[in-house]
Amino acid sequence: MRVEVDLDLCQGHAMCELEAPDIFRVPKRGQVEIADGEIPDDMRADVERAVQYCPTAALRLVNQRSAQTTEGD
């Protein structure tokens, strides 16, 4: 599983960074930067919360095995 971001929607609120700081980084006055690669299993719950709490729904989870996506609310 990995995370994708729609940079047209991201406004840099950094809620994702608060939930999963090892995966997300939001520079001051910037947009989210996401660590490359698969999300470790032990961080999956944190990343799912980050996607859920994104105020602009800019993040989504992508299951690479089946190409299914899960968008934030």
pLDDT in the model for residue 73: 47
pLDDT per residue, tens digit, the chain (73 aa), is: 899 999 999 999 999 999 999 999 999 999 999 998 889 999 999 999 999 999 999 999 998 765 555 555 4
What CATH number should be reported for the domain holding residue 16? 3.30.70.20
Host domain of residue 63 = 2-71
Number of structural domains in the chain: 1
What are all long-range contacts of 9-18, with beta carbons under 8 Å and residues at least 24 apart? 9/56, 9/57, 9/58, 10/56, 10/58, 11/55, 11/56, 11/58, 13/54, 13/55, 13/56, 15/50, 15/53, 15/54, 15/55, 16/50, 16/51, 16/53, 16/54, 16/59, 17/50, 18/50
- Dmax over Cα atoms in the chain, in whole Å? 35
pTM for this structure? 0.81
